[in-house]
Structure 1
């Protein structure tokens, strides 16, 4: 209840001893008034992975993170925060940790069945500590898992309901309309704890995954619920004079439809602190979910008990990333016909074994295919790639495969992979079940860290980025062809010297003799001497479309035909044509089988395309669109592109005919390199080039649809 101190305004005549007493009383009253002006809302979202917010529609989380929720408030955020490690990543021990600030070894809570036996007398709930410090504080505790009612807590109000009910209860508490025997109508809330469970339920229903619509939709629903609570806080009549703190975290992530596994996808969770005193940016170090309790206590001016494992978060954030992504770029291999470094540092790669091929149809221009036994590239062991005890770094590549790896091959690394405890670093394929990626880093067996797994799909281009913050976390980003940016993380604070006498190899371990060789396509490979920020990773990923580093560097980048291209009638252009189907890059090819001097035209969805020659006859431009007409011929004498005379269900097969010059085609080019249309006139009817819906053996038939319908293509110019 609010006290009336108006009598203090009256003039008083005091004796010296009374003056000392009164000064102390003023100090105590001032402290009480400060506490009364501070308000906190701690939200625990069950089952919210660290990348859950990244891949969902979350405008309210975004405002909190970006510091734009309310004037004077900043957001300190970590998508790489961690659960406790001395218990499995399940609800019981982590709920207790969030509320008490200690891990399982102190609370003695190891699972969901022993929550009632926790050592709450020695490690009290943070709201109990608030009440002990000032019993006049109004504290509310709202949970949706009945087991949480077994955690001892001296809060004034305790409610066990479902998510919708407790969001409604929280709104009523904030706007002053909630009323019960323990909470008179109009009571001002000082501390609110709110637990929300539906995200966890969505994960268990299918998958704790960015690719699961049910999971990401539920994260979006929670964002809307939190948005309504934030709006209620801002609508409070005295909001401008109040000092709110909002903390959001989670108890665990997940894999598949479950959790409780000792692995990075289960450990990685978000941690967010929003207040007037928080710094804006990404939190330093490795935040833990059990940092929540001390963070709230500090906001209320309560001393954090020395026996707490958690620490106060929000006052220290990372330095901002450099203005230019290319800052501290050590080497960059675009694989545009060779293995040369285009960063300007001349740290070229060389063939370490076999005969890696540079082919057309990469993510940007060309790519390197590493397929043969003991086939790999090497960067050697230069001093520029010695990251020693403390140097941050980043490994990056675009990655594509068309099936499971055999064994656990290395994408890039410099250690002997006979043991993960050997000194060095690896970015790995198939670290688990044949279709996932992970990180291994160690200086000795004592500090070995394995950060995995993220599952990937076949045939599409994935962006893989591994960042290493040596006094914080190693974070693995895997951007899918369909737009999801998967993120897992793990602490590497205690990892020592990772210098290795071995080479940095691409497709093999540092020895070049590991029994399992990588079989994959790689493009736009790069290494930085710093840890890229998530914002920089987002720029490189660009929603799956990607940003070519050549373009960032201002080098001559991959060229595509667009409406802005200078195309001249009478000239020939060497091209490859690709399209994206369900996240897979499919390239126009001629079939190896020759019948009556004709080859079927097909779309190879392993992304490989055959080089073709565009023979331009006429060029027309109008309304921002360029129409280029002419013929398309397969190089190497494999035939000219035609439509088949037979029409079935308004469709004609596409083919390469060795006995003709091809059919006359029109290429309609827009300003977007990915939106070209190709059509032909067949018996006075326009037919648009398409890919067939059926995928057989990794290929789709090429056809002309004479309704007409058109698919969109990318036409890349070759040197």
Structure 2
């Protein structure tokens, strides 16, 4: 963790600006008079930090709605420099000078003072050299940054809160210093904020860590104050502002400096009146910040800079819906057929994979034997060559450690990661981690990892490949955090292999370690999905089935709009979401006097049942279906127990009865179904128990009455 120095420094310029103007010294006409810039670098902000925090101000900025006439080009997959470890020293210098470590000479936190700033000056120095009348400010929160030579009019080393206030005062014109009179009009402002890095070091650079996320929330509030100050300037409508934001590194655990995607992946945004709206094309880097600001001020970017001007090129937007370029979609609902309409079906490649009820959506495929896998063969639609973008997607669940480093889907011989092809992996990099491997040869091999995962919940995995930019790995946890890492793949050549695309095995089908996992809703696109599309599919962990987005199913789940008839027998399973886990209603194997306890299995399994409809009522707010629920296989009818404890009754299956009458309350949202019954004159709602034992929870009737929400899926 870096320490802060609270000192302030106000250097006197070699020549007073007023004297230059009075003497009639010509200013560079290329540095525009009414342009203003704010460059913010947030130390330790991962590429997925903004995604998982509450950041209304940054969200408004990214969406292009922070001010009239402004657009924002953004990347959550931008990269740090690669010729130095992802630490603060070299990357701070890179952000300020536009060059990487090979040129600046700064390789760590201890050699910042010795940087080659004469050959590669700070961007504020270049602005001052081009037009000495510009008013420039340099605000940092790490004392080492004061060792970076620059010609800013004001240099301040203080903490985040103080420098946020300094930035607001400078923008408002209320800041004063020995050579900065009150009312001075700022032209270029540089601000480094450090506290996010401190929160990461305190515990974890992770979307799941409250301390880290809360600090990002605080930074958003600080940036919101600064943006409000800019908009409140009396001449803001006639001014031409540019906002640039980036970071120096990501992190893993409580540290950084590791040469890996979770340390490299950072955000980059540029907002201005000339920027394009959308996601940045290519491979943005944090050292693009300096040339981007210089270009905004009308200054030619020095040819020796490694960074490039960002904001003018964005990715092409898909306006044709999720079906565009979808090549295969396997919902695993009773078969391995392609539901995209393209006929790209899967087949059993080995063993006896098992289709089971209680998946993330409908049924799922379970791979749990050393020889079990599926194959898509080698269709031309899945040849991506040297320049075709593509996406791999599935929902993934395991209940324990993987053996070795098995493949989720891939088409290469995994005997070596240097072999030609692509892999999405279940145990890559750090143990129980998701990752990507691709290569055309050993010379361009790329490993993009790791994202650590937990057990017993459904994870959304999406790997997008922009062949002119980055491969991005999205891993949505069961509890709502969307983890994102990325890596540069622009120089990867032909990735077509001569092997099959296999699910649960490498392209040979003979890799030592077979995948042992549950998979659902598998799909491949011949384009790179956008973050917005991934968000729609992930739906904060609740998920949206592709069949729903494709309008493939009208009555898959019971809702208020379902066409239910009295006398109808509905074959179904009942599931609920509990703390990010999918839990299915089941009967217990143990039987006492012809009765079995009802339980919720939170590995996602659910027993098939039949609901016989005896009555229908539509009160406008909901559709109420009355009837009897019976477990298939003669395992009993659903009942409430005659014993009551603290307003609660056990739920059970009785083999010697027709069951108790229950009412299913259906709304338009299939996930908001409630199940109730009348027990000895009381209304009781079906619930899951707060206690969990061996991945199971008791099913009960709460006669307070409270009730949980469920989803009923038709089989």
Give 1:270's match in structure 2, choosing from 263, 267, 290.
Answer: 267
Partner of 1:111: 108
* Structure 1 unaligned blocks of 5 or more: 8-24
The 3 A distance-change label for structure 1 pair 117 and 537 is same
Q: Is the 8 A contact 2:80 2:266 kept in 1?
A: yes
Give 2:29's match in structure 1, choosing from 28, 31, 37.
Answer: 31
Partner of 1:190: 187
Partner of 1:77: 74
Give 1:178's match in structure 2, choosing from 175, 181, 191.
Answer: 175
Structure 1 residue 256 displacement after superposition: 1.7
Note if 1:627 corresponds to 2:624: yes
Note if 1:645 corresponds to 2:642: yes
What SS is found at the alignment partner of 1:53? helix
Structure 1 residue 157 displacement after superposition: 0.5
Give 2:419's match in structure 1, choosing from 419, 422, 425.
Answer: 422
Structure 1 residue 706 displacement after superposition: 2.2
- Aligned-residue Cα RMSD (Å) equals 1.9
Give 2:222's match in structure 1, choosing from 220, 225, 243.
Answer: 225
Structure 1 residue 684 displacement after superposition: 2.2
Give the Cα–Cα distance (whole angstroms) in 1 for the partners of residues 321 and 624 of structure 2: 37
Structure 1 residue 205 displacement after superposition: 2.0
Give the Cα–Cα distance (whole angstroms) in 1 for the partners of residues 569 and 347 of structure 2: 34
Partner of 1:675: 672
Give the Cα–Cα distance (whole angstroms) in 1 for the partners of residues 19 and 99 of structure 2: 38
Structure 1 residue 92 displacement after superposition: 0.9
Note if 1:156 corresponds to 2:153: yes
Give the Cα–Cα distance (whole angstroms) in 2 for the partners of residues 147 and 234 of structure 1: 32
Partner of 1:20: none
Give the Cα–Cα distance (whole angstroms) in 1 for the partners of residues 545 and 154 of structure 2: 55
What SS is found at the alignment partner of 1:315? coil
Structure 1 residue 421 displacement after superposition: 0.7
Give the Cα–Cα distance (whole angstroms) in 1 for the partners of residues 395 and 608 of structure 2: 22
The 3 A distance-change label for structure 1 pair 597 and 139 is same
What SS is found at the alignment partner of 2:212? helix
Give the Cα–Cα distance (whole angstroms) in 1 for the partners of residues 683 and 322 of structure 2: 46
Give the Cα–Cα distance (whole angstroms) in 1 for the partners of residues 63 and 146 of structure 2: 34
Matches within 5 A, 1:359-370: 359-370=356-367
Partner of 1:314: 311
The 3 A distance-change label for structure 1 pair 690 and 49 is same
Give the Cα–Cα distance (whole angstroms) in 2 for the partners of residues 669 and 186 of structure 1: 63
Structure 1 residue 623 displacement after superposition: 3.2
Q: Is the 8 A contact 1:247 1:272 kept in 2?
A: yes
- TM-score in terms of structure 1 length: 0.94
The 3 A distance-change label for structure 1 pair 558 and 367 is farther
Q: Is the 8 A contact 1:364 1:558 kept in 2?
A: no
Give the Cα–Cα distance (whole angstroms) in 2 for the partners of residues 630 and 73 of structure 1: 58
Note if 1:245 corresponds to 2:242: yes
- Please list the CA deviations of residues 542-585 of structure 1 after superposition, one character each: whole Å capped at 9, or x if unmatched: 22222222223332356112222222222211110111100000
Q: Is the 8 A contact 1:462 1:480 kept in 2?
A: yes
Q: Is the 8 A contact 2:388 2:526 kept in 1?
A: yes
Matches within 5 A, 1:333-482: 333-482=330-479
What SS is found at the alignment partner of 1:36? coil
- Please list the CA deviations of residues 200-222 of structure 1 after superposition, one character each: whole Å capped at 9, or x if unmatched: 11212222112222222221221
The 3 A distance-change label for structure 1 pair 173 and 261 is same
- Please list the CA deviations of residues 513-543 of structure 1 after superposition, one character each: whole Å capped at 9, or x if unmatched: 1111111111111111111111111222222
Matches within 5 A, 1:701-716: 701-716=698-713
Give the Cα–Cα distance (whole angstroms) in 2 for the partners of residues 117 and 433 of structure 1: 35
Structure 1 residue 411 displacement after superposition: 0.5
Q: Matched residue pairs, number? A: 699
Partner of 1:519: 516
Matches within 5 A, 1:457-606: 457-556=454-553, 559-606=556-603
- Please list the CA deviations of residues 601-636 of structure 1 after superposition, one character each: whole Å capped at 9, or x if unmatched: 110001000001112222222132122222111101
The 3 A distance-change label for structure 1 pair 6 and 98 is closer
Partner of 2:205: 208
What SS is found at the alignment partner of 2:32? helix
* Structure 2 unaligned blocks of 5 or more: 1-15
The 3 A distance-change label for structure 1 pair 500 and 519 is same
Structure 1 residue 691 displacement after superposition: 0.9
Partner of 2:651: 654
Give the Cα–Cα distance (whole angstroms) in 2 for the partners of residues 497 and 95 of structure 1: 35
Greater alpha carbon shift after TM alignment, 502-511 vs 518-527: 518-527
Note if 1:121 corresponds to 2:118: yes
Partner of 1:332: 329
Give the Cα–Cα distance (whole angstroms) in 1 for the partners of residues 225 and 380 of structure 2: 54
Structure 1 residue 4 displacement after superposition: 13
Note if 1:138 corresponds to 2:135: yes
